[in-house]
Chain A
């Protein structure tokens, strides 16, 4: 059974750095083809893909946010960490992490999602 859960601050101030952790179980991020992605959703708006990290440490980022994003993994802890610098009120959103893969049947979609964590950016 695959589960993911996001954790981190619920409130950050403008210009601060946000650090979110995705803790997962039921799969290994050292298995070939496996990846974990981050997706966010501002209140009442659409989903926006942020970043992905794969089993081989290949990393992909949204071009519009690339300079602000860092994604890392700790395979031994079953965790993926996303940091976003210089937070702004427009970054207020629910942040999700999700499982994906590039091999097998369920390729290139997000088949398991965390419950999401709402991050508010306000002074």
Chain B
């Protein structure tokens, strides 16, 4: 199985901060990586696919990068509605796997 390790697992930040979450894969996955945002009691929402392509309707303050084994999700200026848990997911092989999540909370 391809393991995904996210860091940090928890992040405390203020509105307006720039935050970056990293996702590392245990083996190369090309650019077959997606990022999701999940709020309490809600289904995950796709933010980024193909490692760096913004899903339609997602604000441009979100950006993704990387390839191979190391990927990042960056929020350029954190907004109140961005406080949530973020997951990466690889699509290079089976089983599909998710990272353990990064919870972004208000400082």
Contacts and interface: CB of A to CB of B under 8 A. Distances in A.
* A is bound by B: yes
Interface of A: 37, 39, 46-49, 52, 60-63, 96, 100, 105-111, 113-116
Contacts of A113: 43-45
Contacts of B67: none
A49 B34 contact: no
Given A47-B44, A47-B87, A62-B95, A110 B101 contact: no
Contacts of B65: none
A96 B43 contact: yes
Given A48-B98, A49-B96, A111 B46 contact: yes
User: Which has the most chain B C-beta neighbours within 10 Å: A39, A48, A49, A110?
Assistant: A110
Interface of B: 1, 32, 34, 36, 38, 43-46, 49-50, 53, 55, 87, 89, 91-92, 94-101
Q: Chain B interface secondary structure, helix, strand, loop or mixed?
A: loop
Nearest to B32: A108
Given A107-B32, A109-B46, A116-B43, A47 B95 contact: no
